Structure 1
Amino acid sequence: MEPVTLSLLIGISGSLIATLIFIGVSEFIRKGFLPWYADKVYRGVRIDGTWIMDTDRSKDEIQVSLTLRQHGEDISGNVVVEVEDSKMAFELIGRIQNMYFAAAAYPVSKRHIDPMTFLLHIDFLKGSLRMQGGMCLAKQAGDVKAYDEQCFIFQDS
């Protein structure tokens, strides 16, 4: 192999390796370090943990539980909804801003297509954190039901 060709191959492969290292480091910083750092410097309320809907206050035949994970203002987690005789599981993504928790939940099952939404105010009442507000859920195709004045009580962290 000629020295020029060898130098060219070494230069190209070195550039490719450097590019891959740069992309890997930047993705680690973007997806790993920055969310971790944002979570550490976040000064707002922590809502990660399990939340159960207060069925004593609810007039509706629905049971909802939220399991939330928090990274700064960004929230993710799972929602389990029990309506009458059916049980539905959702993946939740949301955000906290100005003591309001806004989220959308998308079904885990490919056989269920209707999402649900939440807009809840976070406050501290009677010695515990609570989230109060409304949620929308489609129980059947074309039947969107709004549940207002719902209260979720913090269970654990």
Structure 2
Amino acid sequence: MEIHGRVGGTSMGYDIQATFSNPEVRGRIGGRKLGYDIRLDAFDFATEGRIGGTLDGFDVLIKAGEIHQGRFGGDFAGMDLKFKEDGQNITGRLGGPVIGYDLNLTCQAGQLTGRIGGKHDGKDVALEGNAPVALLVVLASAAFYLLHQAEAGSASAAGAG
């Protein structure tokens, strides 16, 4: 089953293209040259695996439940993800209570839309696919996390002169 969409706008955003063949999720976030491979397994109890390569990627472990929660990355570098589904609405947080981003998403008929982050520091989400809602949220959040890293890297490079 195909999953496709975008997180962010035309100038600063990432496309998501993936295939879900229970439990395997394979695909790409970003483009062919500047992008990250998706290698996840989506089980009823968790979504786990890796996005990106050995050096430029991160581990994914999100446990399912009434509240889905887990982490992108390791103990030292990474970001927590916590969200819940309430009917068609998905709310939660990527990051911590002080430095983090709210998830305000809606899923109807396999279309996940909404926003991760606020008015100025957030990104729009438009993702669709015949897959579990939690998996769509994990993929959108992972794309946002990668965008956040890219923006932080370009901001520090700009200030390095």
TM-score strictly above 0.5: no
Shorter-chain TM-score tier: 0.3 to 0.5
TM-score of the aligned structures, taking structure 2 as reference length:
0.35
Larger Rg: 1
TM-score of the aligned structures, taking structure 1 as reference length:
0.35
